[in-house]
Structure formats: structure tokens, C-alpha cells
Structure 1
Amino acid sequence: MKKVLSLVLAIFMVSVLLVGCGKSDTAKTADSKNADAGTKKRIAIIVKGTENVFYQSVKAGADVAAKETGVEYYFTGSSAGETDINGQVSLVENAISQKVSGIIIAASDAKALVPITEKAIAAGIPVVVIDSGLQTDKYTSFLTTDNVAAASAAGESLAKMLNGKGKVAIVNFVAGAQGAIEREKGFKDAMAKYPDIQVLQTQYYNNDKQKALSLTQDILTANPDLDAIFACNEPGTVGVGRALKEKNNKKVIEIGFDSSDDIIPLIKEGYLKGTIVQMPYNMGYLGVKAMVDKLNGKEVVKNQDTGFTLVTTENMESPESQKALYPLGKK
């Protein structure tokens, strides 16, 4: 009898242990799932402004890449616009406080955003830079249009339209922005090849379309023999084009940079003879991909050219130009 009781007791103890182990494994699995859910990668995408078509195209690319890679992200920019450098610094500070997995940024200023960006990197948050550069090499990857090459292409196109001679004005967006610096350089490099082209001193419109318009009016008044104007981004391209349209002036050639719903009609009407169209969708898509690769320990290319298309009044109906002009599709 004692042997039987001992055997029953032993079987009971083994059963208890097995049940206990089963509960432990189940609990571990649940805890693991909860931990995975709590540590899902979350990226902050901080741009110069969330409403314009350019950055909406960045977001469209990011949406696709986020779905493909299974990451979450939030998309933000200063409500005061591209010139609100302090506002963008605060957005990066907030991202650091939230302990995001990574930051993708289109910097409003090449120098002013460096300290806060390096603070994020020092905190273990990798940073991918898109669109506008930063004067640091501590970022994971920089994805942008080759601004120097693109602006040089615009300059070469203009030089042909001018037959290699004339007086040209440059209107630029924000002094100190890396993109502004590079576009001016590329354009001037092209102009330097043509000794009979005179380039006037650059003037700035601080990313304001109305200021670009009034600035153009002043330039035209001061230079009645002006032959052409190069505008370095969307607000400037629109402002210059509207100033020419107000005077029904198709004699002065405008070459611009960027595309939008305001720019396309100016090309069709002939007030804007050509514009460099960037590929913002690629910036968003490839930016998220680069960040996820970094977070997964994969090697990431340090600098990536996202491409551009020179759209002119002559080629704007081509498939390549149409795709560049309408990255989100025609409405």
C-alpha cells in the first residue's frame, strides 16, 4: 500500500510541475509579445512644412516604405514654415524626449540644426537627412537631389535659350540653407562658362511668394535690360512667374526650381520656360528604407542622389515630365 501511495504521489508531483512549466512558457510568450509591441520601431519625420505638395510627396513615399517594413512614423513640421528654425529645433527636441527609434529630417538651416541633431545622435537615435543638408557628417545617410548638378543643368539650359549672352538675376530663398547655397553655386558654375552672361547679385525672398513677386518687380524696374531670372525654389518660382504674368512679360526668361499646382500653369502659359523638378517621393521612400536598415544593423549608403527632371515648355507633355510633375497622380 505504501508503495502504491508513493507512486500516486510521485505522479501527482510530476503533473503539477508540468502544468507549472506550461504556464511559465505561456506567460513568457505573452510577455515576449507585449515587449515586442512596446518596442515597435517608431520614426519621427520632421520637415520644413507639411502642407505643400513637395513634402506631401515625401510623405507618400514614406507611407509605402513604412508599410513594407512594418515601422510606425509620425510626420511633422513647424506651423510657421521653413524660416522657423527654432520651431524645428523644438520638434527635434520633442522627438528626443519621446525616445523615438530614429529621426528623418529636412533641415531648415544647415548650421542651426547641427547641435540638436548631434544631440539626438549622441542619445543613440540615428538621423537620416533628406532634401536639405546639414554641416555635420554624423548622420546615417543623406538623401537629396544633387542640387549643384540640378542647378547647373538649369543654367546650361538657360544659357542655350540666351544664346550665351545677356543679363541674369538670381533670386534665392533663405540665406544659410544648404540647398540654397548649393543651387546658387551650381547655377553660377554654369554661368561662369559664358563670359558674355552677366549675373547680378543674389537677392532673397525668405520663402515668401509675395515677397518674391515684389522683389521681381523691383529687379525689373532697376534693370530694364534684364534677360532672365533664376528662382531657386517653389515660392520664388511662383512669385517671379506671377510678376512676369502681371506685366504679360514673356520676354524675360524664367528658369525655376521645384513643381507645384501653382507652377504648372506658369509653364503651360509660357511665363516659366523651365523648372527643375525633384523627386520627393524617392526621398520619403528611400529615407524610411535607409532608417530601417540602420535600425536592423545593415550597412547604409552615406549619400544617395534621389534624382531630378528638367521640365520645359517643350517637353512638359512627355511621360517622364508628366510623372515628375504629378508624383501623386493627376487629380
Structure 2
Amino acid sequence: MKKVASIFLTVFMVALLLVGCGKSDTKAADATKGADSGVKKKVAVIVKGTEHVYWQSVKVGAEAAAKAGGVEMTFTGAPGGESDINGQVNLIENAINQKVAGIVLAASDAKALVPVTEKAIAAGIPVVIIDSGLNTDKYKSFLTTDNVAASAAVGESLAKMLDGKGKVAIVNFVPGAQTAIEREKGFRDVMAKYPGITVLPTQFYSSDKQKALSLTQDLMTANPDLAAVYACNEPGTVGVGRALKEKNNKTIIEVGFDASDDVIPLIKEGYCKAAVVQMPYNMGFKGVQAIVDILAGKSVEKKVDTGFTLVTPENMTSPESEKALYPTGKK
């Protein structure tokens, strides 16, 4: 009887082991099936706006990195443009609700975007910041131009052209964006070194080319002795340059930020005497690439300087300038 019981117990234990192995095999098969299902992880790239050439270059870079990394990428910007902070908050909320694998963010406001960004991070979504900084350090990586150094470089260039004296206007895109703050700071710090230079109060144009043009016209009317205008992004550089071109005015010196198919002719024709050209393609590519690396368990640098080039009418055909002006190749 004891022998029968022993045999029965042995058979029972073997059966349990077989069932356990069967479950393990099923789990392994399910995992393999999930890995081989072809479902790509989704990365949300959320920028300030999508209408300007700068952000279109970011998109091209992001698309290239998504293709190389085997992820699905969505590219959106605030529907109301670069000053639409609530619109950008809603885009991040949507990304959280969709449970995306990662977010690449160019924040419209350094403070206002912090709570929703930290909400995404708390939900387990890695966030990489590009272009504009945030007042938090909980993100995985920050890829940006050194805006203070870049604006200081264009400021020094202008001071030299002015021989250290003259009335200078600053036209900036929006208050509150970290890039806007830094680009004004670097420029003003340089201007302060020259007692002969007077800087007028900053005017804002909401990243609108026509508003920048109108502001420049008003500045020229109100200040017959205006010597120079500094524009802080691509729409501003275009608007100021067009205002000068309308009057065929090459006496007032424009220096600006960013390049595009609209800016390049203004540099070539001498209406824009110098422009800081960033690397938006690199920001888009490296931003998505960083998310891909994070998802693969790789470490990424906390801060990456994506670089800039100072382009003038005199150096715009140099290899360095052409690489900056035509990031995806000269058309």
C-alpha cells in the first residue's frame, strides 16, 4: 500500500512539473510573439509650432532617427503657435494618455510646462528636451544650442560693425521661453561692454514674420538714428530683413538668429549682415535617437551642445556655412 502511494505521489509531482513547464513555455512563446509582432514603440515629438522652417528641419531629423531606430514617431506643435502654452500642455497630456514610449519636447515656456512634463516622467515615460530648457532636471537629456554663447557671438560681430557706438533695437519672439531669455541675455551682456551703444526696450512679435516687419517699420519711424536691429529667431530675422529691403536700406544693420530659404537671400543681398545658424536637423535626429537609446537600456548624456555657425555675406559659401544653411543638402 505504501508502495502504491509512493508511485502515485511520484506521478503527481511529475505532472505538476510538466504543467509548470507548459506554463513557462507558453509565457516564453507569448513574449516571443510580442517581440516578433512588429508593433513599433511610439515616440511623441512635441515642439512649439510646426509652421516655421526651423521646426520642419527638426521634423526631418526626427523622422530619420525614427526610421533608423525602428520606432513610430508623431510630430506635433501647439495649434495656436509658439505662444500657445495650453495647447502644448494638452499635447503632452494626450501623449501620456496614449502611453507613448518616450517624449521629445521643445517647451514653449520654461516654467509652465514643468508640471505636465514631470507628470509624464512620473508615469514612466522618458523625456528628452530639445531647443528650449525647462526649470526641472528630471528629464533624461537636454539637447540645445548654447544660446548665450551664440547670441554673444552675434553681439560681438555687431559691435565690431558699429565700431562700438549706435542705437540698437532688440526684437524677440515670446517672453518666457528659455531660448528667448538666453538669446537676449547673451546679446545684452555684450552690448553692455560698449558705453557708446544704446539698447532700446525689447519688442515682441510672437514669432510672426509680418509682426516683426511692422515692428521694424515702427522702430525706424520712431528712431531716425536707429543703427541696428537684432532679431532672435527665424520669423524675426525674415521680418526685419524684409522691412529693410522694402526701403532698400542697407545702412541699418540687421543681425539675426536661424536660417531658412527666406533668410538666405537676405544674407546674400546684404540686408542681414550676420545670422546665428543652429543645427535643428541635429536636434531632431539626436533627440529621437536619445529616446531609442534609453528604451534599449543605454545611457545618454545629460546635456548636449548641438552647436552653431555664424554666417555672414562674406563667409556664406564656405563649407562650414553651407553645411549649416543646407542641413539636408543644397537644392
Post-superposition offset of 1:109: 1.2
1:248 aligns with 2:244: no
In structure 1, C-alpha distance between the alignment counterparts of 2:20 and 2:300, rounded to whole Å: 43
Q: Would the alpha carbon gap of residues 299 and 26 (structure 1) be closer, same or farther in structure 2, given more than 3 Å must change?
A: closer
Matched with 1:109 is 109
Post-superposition offset of 1:295: 2.3
1:145 aligns with 2:145: yes
- Aligned length, in residue pairs: 315
Q: Would the alpha carbon gap of residues 108 and 251 (structure 1) be closer, same or farther in structure 2, given more than 3 Å must change?
A: same
Matched with 1:72 is 72
Matched with 2:30 is 31
TM score, norm. by length of structure 1? 0.89
> Is the 2:283–2:306 contact (alpha carbons within 8 Å) kept by the matching residues of 1?
yes
In structure 2, C-alpha distance between the alignment counterparts of 1:106 and 1:222, rounded to whole Å: 35
Q: Would the alpha carbon gap of residues 297 and 22 (structure 1) be closer, same or farther in structure 2, given more than 3 Å must change?
A: closer
Whichever residue aligns with residue 91 of structure 1, its letter is L
Matched with 2:10 is none
Whichever residue aligns with residue 158 of structure 1, its letter is L
Post-superposition offset of 1:40: 4.1
1:81 aligns with 2:81: yes
Question: Post-superposition, which runs of at least 4 consecutive aligned residues in structure 1 deviate over 6 A?
Answer: 20-26
Post-superposition offset of 1:69: 2.4
In structure 2, C-alpha distance between the alignment counterparts of 1:25 and 1:124, rounded to whole Å: 28
> Is the 2:145–2:278 contact (alpha carbons within 8 Å) kept by the matching residues of 1?
yes
Map residues 164-313 of structure 1 onto 2, 5 A cutoff. 164-313=164-313
Post-superposition offset of 1:271: 0.8
Post-superposition offset of 1:156: 0.5
In structure 2, C-alpha distance between the alignment counterparts of 1:64 and 1:87, rounded to whole Å: 26
In structure 2, C-alpha distance between the alignment counterparts of 1:26 and 1:63, rounded to whole Å: 38
Whichever residue aligns with residue 31 of structure 2, its letter is S
Whichever residue aligns with residue 125 of structure 2, its letter is I
Post-superposition offset of 1:284: 1.2
Q: Would the alpha carbon gap of residues 295 and 22 (structure 1) be closer, same or farther in structure 2, given more than 3 Å must change?
A: closer
Say which SS state the counterpart of residue 273 (structure 1) adopts. Answer: strand
Write out per-residue CA displacement over residues 100-149 of structure 1, whole angstroms, 9 at most, x where no aligned residue.
11110011111111111011111111110001111111111110100000
Say which SS state the counterpart of residue 167 (structure 2) adopts. Answer: strand
Matched with 1:163 is 163
In structure 2, C-alpha distance between the alignment counterparts of 1:206 and 1:158, rounded to whole Å: 24
Post-superposition offset of 1:34: 3.2
In structure 2, C-alpha distance between the alignment counterparts of 1:119 and 1:24, rounded to whole Å: 37
In structure 1, C-alpha distance between the alignment counterparts of 2:189 and 2:21, rounded to whole Å: 72
Matched with 2:52 is 52
Write out per-residue CA displacement over residues 197-230 of structure 1, whole angstroms, 9 at most, x where no aligned residue.
1111111111111111111111111111111010
Whichever residue aligns with residue 121 of structure 1, its letter is I
In structure 2, C-alpha distance between the alignment counterparts of 1:80 and 1:58, rounded to whole Å: 19
Write out per-residue CA displacement over residues 280-318 of structure 1, whole angstroms, 9 at most, x where no aligned residue.
111112112222222233222111100001000110111
Post-superposition offset of 1:59: 2.0
Post-superposition offset of 1:94: 0.3
Write out per-residue CA displacement over residues 174-199 of structure 1, whole angstroms, 9 at most, x where no aligned residue.
01111000000000111122121111
Say which SS state the counterpart of residue 291 (structure 2) adopts. Answer: helix
Say which SS state the counterpart of residue 66 (structure 2) adopts. Answer: helix
In structure 2, C-alpha distance between the alignment counterparts of 1:208 and 1:52, rounded to whole Å: 10
Unpaired segments ≥5 residues, structure 2 = 1-17
TM score, norm. by length of structure 2? 0.89
> Is the 2:213–2:239 contact (alpha carbons within 8 Å) kept by the matching residues of 1?
yes
In structure 2, C-alpha distance between the alignment counterparts of 1:23 and 1:139, rounded to whole Å: 42
Say which SS state the counterpart of residue 227 (structure 1) adopts. Answer: strand
In structure 2, C-alpha distance between the alignment counterparts of 1:42 and 1:327, rounded to whole Å: 26
Say which SS state the counterpart of residue 125 (structure 1) adopts. Answer: coil
> Is the 2:54–2:234 contact (alpha carbons within 8 Å) kept by the matching residues of 1?
no
Post-superposition offset of 1:163: 1.1
Q: Would the alpha carbon gap of residues 107 and 224 (structure 1) be closer, same or farther in structure 2, given more than 3 Å must change?
A: same
In structure 1, C-alpha distance between the alignment counterparts of 2:103 and 2:58, rounded to whole Å: 14
In structure 2, C-alpha distance between the alignment counterparts of 1:218 and 1:173, rounded to whole Å: 17
Write out per-residue CA displacement over residues 39-93 of structure 1, whole angstroms, 9 at most, x where no aligned residue.
7432111112224321222122222322332222211112321111111111000
In structure 1, C-alpha distance between the alignment counterparts of 2:64 and 2:136, rounded to whole Å: 29
Post-superposition offset of 1:23: 9.0
